[in-house]
Chains A and B, each alone.
Chain A
């Protein structure tokens, strides 16, 4: 009678020979979706704590891809790609879009280059305020900015100031990936009250795609 080691080895070898792994590309794709799903869940959990109801994390391949209510485009060498991440929140009261252009500088490090926003609101009001909130996913708010759209309050668009973009990136010029940027529209209020009465919200999570 063979010993235990050889019995186990023979059994395992037979099983290994019969195993049918799915193609690596398919497996990696499922892993990527799993990772995105986990980030989205963390983002939604974090956003919910702050009173934000929409957050999207989007990641894709070079050349562009669309997922959910937003899209990401990427270009340049894989080691330092510039990505544009967009997310749109649609509500009966209107639409709000956030577009973040950032550089994937290293593993788990990203640098925000520019932030654009646009949208329209059907709620009648003489003016609106836009609250821009920066926070690690699931973490506390690390920065915020308020913008009052000029011109027609029903339709707004603009770019976040370079100064605030520099603040987001911090002294090192880049920040940890996984940070969420969210934007919400409301009637003008003092800062502490804005979140409670948001009319429109949207958000993105900046994820490093460099590994």
Chain B
């Protein structure tokens, strides 16, 4: 991946990945920082990405690990480093969205990750298993448990077992 290809990839995928990470982490600033840091690492290790293929998945996995690592550090009381520009002040979400986000935050991190990969990134259970390193059965269980937590906010058809 040369500089131009990487720049195009960065421009096309940054916002999408921030959205996905936000849904996984529940923290917009943290999601943006993690994705940005993941892109920096992606450029530094671009030859590795070329070999592995699927650069967007590589950045997403790396950003998730960065975010998870920061959670662990935060739990130990370390200060989080501010690496990039924080989002500007924006209009607040509506009541439904607030309730949904609040519910999403109640879902354990790995279950939330599985939900986002399945519903937002359109990955199959097998693909999620590959990306997360968990067995397919575990992924299905996480999806089911995650949906159970979110059940009050979902329509009836969403509580079905994943078919993909």
Contact = CB atoms under 8 A, between A and B. Distances in A.
Contacts of B115: 4, 8
Interface residues of B, number: 50
Nearest to A35: B44
B43 A15 contact: no
B39 interface: yes
Interface string A31-73: 1101100100000000000000000000000000000000000
A114 B116 CA distance: 55
A19 B6 contact: no
A20 B46 contact: no
Given A16-B19, A32-B44, A27 B10 contact: yes
A31 B39 CA distance: 8
Interface stretch (B20-28, B61-69, B71-79, B132-140): B20-28
Interface in B119-135: 119-120
A21 interface: yes
A28 B10 CA distance: 10
Contact of A16 (B7, B16, B43, B90): B16
Contacts of B42: 31
A20 B154 contact: no
10 contacts: A7-B97, A8-B115, A8-B119, A11-B97, A12-B120, A13-B19, A16-B15, A16-B19, A17-B15, A19-B18
Interface of A: 1-5, 7-22, 24, 27-28, 30-32, 34-35, 38, 107-108, 211
